[in-house]
Structure 1
Amino acid sequence: MLSDHPYAVGSRVVVQGKRGPEVATVRGEAAAPDPKGRYGAILRGASADDLAQWEALHRKAEDLKWLLRARARERRLNAKLVAVEFTLDESLVTISYSADERIELGALVTELRDYTPARVNFAAIGPREQAQIIGTLGACGRENCSSTHLQDFAPVSIRMARDQQLPLNPEKLSGPCGRLLCCLQFEHTQYLELLRDLPRKNARVCHDSSGSCGKVTKLHPLAGTVDIQTEAGMLYDIPAAELRRAETQNPPPKGQERAAEAE
Structure 2
Amino acid sequence: MVVLPVRFERSPRLHPMLSEVAHPVGTRVVVQGKRGPEVATVRGEPTPPQEQERYGAVLRAATPEDLSRWEDLHTTGEDLKWLLRARARQRSLPVKVVAVEFTLDESLVTVSYSAEERIELTGLISELRGHTRARVNFAAVGPREQAQMIGTLGACGRENCSSTHLQDFAPVSIRMARDQQLPLNPEKLSGPCGRLLCCLQFEHTQYLDLLKDLPRKNARVCHEGSGACGKVTKLHPLAGTVDVTTDQGVLTDVPAAELRRLTDAEIKAMPDTGRGGGRPGRPNRAQPRE
2:241 aligns with 226
2:113 aligns with 97
For the 8 Å contact 2:233–2:245, the answer to whether it is kept is no
Further displaced range: 160-169 or 96-105: 96-105
Between the aligned partners of 2:110 and 2:119, the Cα distance in structure 1 is: 17
Task: Flag structure 1 segments of 5+ consecutive residues without an equivalent.
Answer: 31-35, 253-259
Further displaced range: 210-219 or 162-171: 210-219
CA drift of 1:173 comes to: 0.8
1:142 aligns with 158
Q: In the alignment, residue 126 of structure 1 is paired with which amino acid?
A: G
Further displaced range: 12-21 or 109-118: 12-21
Q: In the alignment, residue 106 of structure 1 is paired with which amino acid?
A: T
Further displaced range: 69-78 or 172-181: 69-78
Further displaced range: 148-157 or 136-145: 148-157
1:167 aligns with 183
2:273 aligns with none
Partner of 1:110: helix, strand, or coil? helix
CA drift of 1:167 comes to: 0.5
Between the aligned partners of 1:229 and 1:216, the Cα distance in structure 2 is: 4
For the 8 Å contact 1:98–1:124, the answer to whether it is kept is yes
Matched, 1:237 2:250: no
Partner of 1:194: helix, strand, or coil? helix
Count of paired positions: 245
Selected match of 2:24 from 1, 4, 7: 7
The C-alpha deviation readout for 1:6-50, integer Å capped at 9, x for no partner, is 633x554556767455434566789xxxxx9688x7837742344
Q: In the alignment, residue 191 of structure 1 is paired with which amino acid?
A: Y
Q: In the alignment, residue 114 of structure 2 is paired with which amino acid?
A: S
**How does the TM-score come out when normalised to structure 2?**
0.68
Task: Flag structure 2 segments of 5+ consecutive residues without an equivalent.
Answer: 6-13, 17-21, 47-51, 269-276, 278-290
Q: In the alignment, residue 194 of structure 2 is paired with which amino acid?
A: G
Between the aligned partners of 1:29 and 1:209, the Cα distance in structure 2 is: 57
CA drift of 1:138 comes to: 0.7
Partner of 2:117: helix, strand, or coil? coil
Partner of 1:133: helix, strand, or coil? helix
Partner of 2:157: helix, strand, or coil? coil
**How does the TM-score come out when normalised to structure 1?**
0.73
The C-alpha deviation readout for 1:206-234, integer Å capped at 9, x for no partner, is 5657766654322233x241223263324
CA drift of 1:163 comes to: 1.4
CA drift of 1:142 comes to: 0.6
Matched, 1:217 2:215: no
Between the aligned partners of 2:201 and 2:225, the Cα distance in structure 1 is: 38
